[in-house]
Structure 1
Amino acid sequence: MGKTRAYRIFTTFLLSYLLILLLPVSGLTFVVYHAFVNKLEEETVQGNLNTLDKVRYAMDEQLKRLEDTTYQMMLEDNRLSLFRVSGDHGYKAWGIVNELKRIQKMNPFLHEIWLYYRGEASVYTSSSIYALPMLADQIYQFDDWREEELSRDLNSLSERVIKPPASDRIGGERYMRVIVPVLPYRNQPYASVVYLMKETAIRQLLSNLIPTGGSTWILDPENRPIAGVGTISETEAEKVSSITASAVAPGSRKVTVGGEEHYVFSIRSKQSGWTYVTLIPVRLVMGRLAQAQTLFLYGGAAVLVLGALFVFLGMRWNYRPIRQLQRETEHILTPEGPALNELETVRYAITSLATRNRLLDERVKSHAAAAKKQLIFSLVKGEFGSEEELRLHADEIGLPVPGSRFRAAILHLASAGGDNDREIGVETLEALLQSHLPGYAAEHMETGKYILILMTDGLGDEEVRQAVLAFRESSHAVWSGSATIGLGQECGLTGLPRSYLEANTAIEYRFIQGLNRIIDFGVIPTDLSVTPYPSAELEHLDQSIRAGQSAKVEASLSAMLKYVRGSQPPLLVVRSLCLEIIRTVNRAWDELGLQEQSSSVFPDVFALERLDTLDDFEGLIRSVCSDLCGAFRSAQGVEAPLRTLDLMLEYIGEHYRSCDFSVQGMARHFGMAVPNLSQYFKDQTGETLLDYTTRLRMEKVKELLVSQDLPLKTIAEQVGYHNVSSFIRRFKQLTGVTPGEYRLQMKI
């Protein structure tokens, strides 16, 4: 029964999703089929008109360039004037022909330029100078432009004339001729310019701009064909002219040419008066539209089928985990009552999981106090090296630490001994504390004491003191006995252990200053300036550890022990010194990659708190010294120092010629961090590791260049260079010459 219900739900959802898919696909098909197809036809028409306009613009540009060229010839001070007035016929002919040749080269669209000064017997061209009869009969022979017509046009035309392309019997080419009279400042022209353009150049221009499949023609103002390309033959061009002549306005329509229906598009140029006509077979245009329609129908059907398939597969894929969840739920959480379908089973599983999660959350909350106490103890012990590490750990347990400035404090609650004493919990104390300033509280290991971590960012000393005073009064109101607070000094994250020791020292002064008050370590009358703090010995200890010199380490520790014995500083100073020694050792070991090798365990801040005598301190110092020396001996395997300059120089001498030699590998060998190794080597030798190894390599290179006739690539590999180019460049930087030049110099 449950399975039947499950498949009925699956089928219902599947049909609903298929219906949701069918509606937009069908609507989109209807809209596109009836609207987009019309739009596509309009775009096709407009696209052809735009293409035709590009042809018009290109030809107008060419004609405008002819006008600009003619205009330059009209100027009184043009370069032709210099040669025209010359009395030397040879100089005149040479200069005019060269100038025309220069002008013709500036316009590759032109085949040739003629210049004829009216009344003269010769015609100057961009290739040579010819007598008028010779030019008309021997150089070119046009059927529509014999000698008589040519002479008449050159001597009598007063405005521009464009002759349609005609065949030259001599050259076999067809040329379009543009005759332009030259008139500078009077109405009578004094010369005529003829521009010859090959019909093939015009056809090439049309072919570059017009897509294949149709025909394009250029007609002059009298609707005579100038040039054309495409499927319509030249014999049918006259029909194109008649069609264009009968056109009412620019645009497109359908005509029949050569027994086939065409779309005809026409544009007239305002500049030249030419008409540009494109004819495209209707079958091509409508064929594309039909293809688009067919492709869209097939595409819509494919989308529908694939969509249905994806919906089905998606349903099956999404359905499988639900079925699996149902089976697992029924196996683990057997529902009571009648059988449930998938959705009901999922709902039952979610409800069960939510209930379990709530119970688990309550259990976690019951352990939150322990996690918070552990965090506070870790802060006091100085186990967090950075604020990022602290916040990451605090966020995991839901304990935000927004600040970066802290103060440690210790609250001491003493019972009054009466019947009105009430227990006060950490939660109550923390709530009272946070009502005055940010902070957290945890029970101390000693009964009646509480550790407080105060966050004091942006607060002055007096503001902190007033907030702590208000907290003490609130605590005293809840606690019937005395409430005394020892307050350490402000510090950063890593200074919290010392601040805790200061707070512990301050709370011990309650026997002197009394109860129910705040005892600030900063105002305790402790003279710490009698003997200077052994900062130099701590620095020397740090350097000795990094250098691996166990004898100097023991000497530094002994010097600090002597300082304590001889100076008899306050107990706080002794505890702080011990804390600094432990932190210096741990920091150096971490940076050098060493691990603790001794079974003895260094004390944390709570153990230092119980450091009551100088004998305890001496025992701790001896333990530290023993641990360090044992670590060095274990890491080195001998009694000799772990890291010495001699050992490092020996290592470099053995490995510097290897291509695999690196500072990182050397650091790993000596168990040191790279910066520490580099700094130690420079302190000991006065030069960097890179400079030292490079100097050794270059000395070896010089020896090999002089003593052996080896290729440079071989020498580079023998001194640790993979790349011979890098080797040559480095050698030249240091010596001023290349290795090859050095070899030649030394052999001379």
Structure 2
Amino acid sequence: MKPGKSLAQFFWRQKKISTSYFLSLIFVFLIPFVILAVSFLVFSESIHQNNQQAVHTKTLDNATSELNDQLDHLLIAAQQIGMDTTISTDDVHIDTAIDLQSALARYQLSSSLIDKLLVFYYRDPAQLYSSDGTYDIDAALYKYGLANTEKMPGKFQTLYTDKPLVLAAKGEGLNGDLNILVPAAGSLGSAPYATIIFHLNGSTIQHMLDQSVGASDQLLVLAHDQQVLVSTDYGKLKLRDLAAGAAPVPLTQLTAAARKNGMQTTTASATGDFFTVTSIASKAHLAAVFGDFVGRYFWILILLGGIGFLCIHILERRQYQLIADIEKKFPAPATASAGLSEQEQLQRTITTYVQAHQTIEQQALQQLPFVREQVFQSLLTGRVGLPADLTTKLQLAQVSLPFRFFTVVLFSAATDETVDHIGQFVIHTNFAYYVTAPIGNNQRAIVLNHGERANSQALLSEIVTADDWQGVAAFYLGGTVDSIREIHTSFIQAASCLLTTEPTPNQKFYIFRHLPKKAMTPAFLDTADQLKLDTGMLNGNPQMALAAFEDIFAAVRTAFDPDMQFDLGSAMLITHILQADYQIHHRLNEPLLRNLLANESLADRHLILNQAVQDIAEAALSQEKRITANKDANLEQYIVSHAASPDFSLSEVADHFGLSLPHASRWVKDVTGQTFTAYLQQLRFDRIKEALVATDAPIKDIIEQSGYYDLANFTRKFRSVVGLPPGQYRTVMRQKGQDA
């Protein structure tokens, strides 16, 4: 960032945001597309080149094969001509000359390549025989390009041959014509008596080659002894150093020019090495493949670009809208600054907001120990609320309880220097713990969260040793629970253990659940009194609860021994009372617990516990009255809402509230003062009487809507109760209303 440029000016400019989006489009979409396209092009070029080479090779093979077939046909025809008695006869006169011409005409028509079929008899070297007569030897040699050959100097030596021979026809108008000379013998192994001359038309051969070549990038050349005889138009390949339409050049020059232009050359030989057929073809070029690729897939690039620019436009508008919304939500600065741009004003607003937020975070961090203390105090006292509320509290306190089991430990500490980590949540590998603030008479609590049920004492010993808590004389452990919502139970047990244990110098840890089993139900405590105590407190019977308490406390006082380490009776009594109080109020009675911790004598505890038992029983009685009142109201509401049903009965009431018929009948009478039938009839009659006076509806409709379906029976019953039939009751009551 350049000096003097503000944060807003640097980051929030539209041009810079657009540029960043555009660069993202290039790097995320276009560059990968280009890389894939180049890879595809290279791969496609290789495939295209292989396919093209296969096509060129097949074309060369087809042309060579067709030429071989034609040459084989000519050689076989020459052999047949030599053995034909019409042609091999020595007696030449008018009749045999006609037969000779007919035979030659027949053989000449056997191949489309034969332009002229001539026979040179060694016995008659002055003339040539053909299907259309005889030719003077001198004129025929020049006409068909058989004279002045470089192979065999001399006027007639060319025509004497003992093996097939290929000669290029030379002369005006004979460019591309060929002569194939084949010796003719009357039988196999005999000396030749004549030479068969096949004059082939070059245009026909070139047409055959043109038909074989299907692609515009391939040239076929027919040559003999490196001399080009016939070829397709090599001008279409645009070879440098060779002009299009120029006369044929030597094969070596033609192939050299082709290789110089980066083309492929392949040569195949015809039958008997008469000819060579050379293929000259262009190689596949990346530009051609690229052109094909662009023609096929350019629309994808256009589509990606269009989508990208559309996304840039949408995201850009959304971002600016977001910035505008943020600016609206941020509180305006206390003092306006004149002369600042919109970007600078936004930057100042954000900076002010961030600073204020940082201040709030610092204050929250300072308050975190107090929040954490409140959360753990609520866990100890059982004020956990709903699961969602508990989760929210733990998140606010930044506390995670990762292990399954919980144990509460109480101990006394005169000063904060006695122990470490007060108000901190400490996490180890296999356990975590929290040390609370004093809860009464310097007592503190440790909430121990661990992974195994039976190792709470060992973990506590590890904490005491590692953190040097040797100044603490004794630790009192409650039972281990497996739910965070039951931590208060462990706390009650730890408190009972502390209140009823006399520590000794040789023992540091006292565990509630490790008390001897025989002490859990002391012989001097009457089980019936314990049951009466619990029943009286929880069912709201103060007299029963207080009487049972006095009996139990008298037994505890009688059995009390000052030299005894554990006051088992007091421990059980205190635990019963604290747990009963929790069941009624759904939270631990902290004032009661602090009061017990502050008063250790039996007399003081008697007064405190006596008052607690009375308060618990009265609170339960008050709750029972409220519950009963609510149930009674629900019963009346249920009967009133179903009174209009003709089939409504007491059994429906019993089923709805889960009661037996006798119990439901007694309950209805207790609530309404009447039997179910009488109360139901009263409700129906009250509705009917009100409807008779207030509406003009037919009497039959009124009684049917009120739960009766027999008009005659209802009329008798109505007369017996009210003293008048329904119709007369309507008239009388309306008249009274008018008089009033």
TM-score with structure 2 length normalisation?
0.41
Give the structure-1-normalised TM-score. 0.40
Which entry has the higher C-alpha Rg, 1 or 2?
2
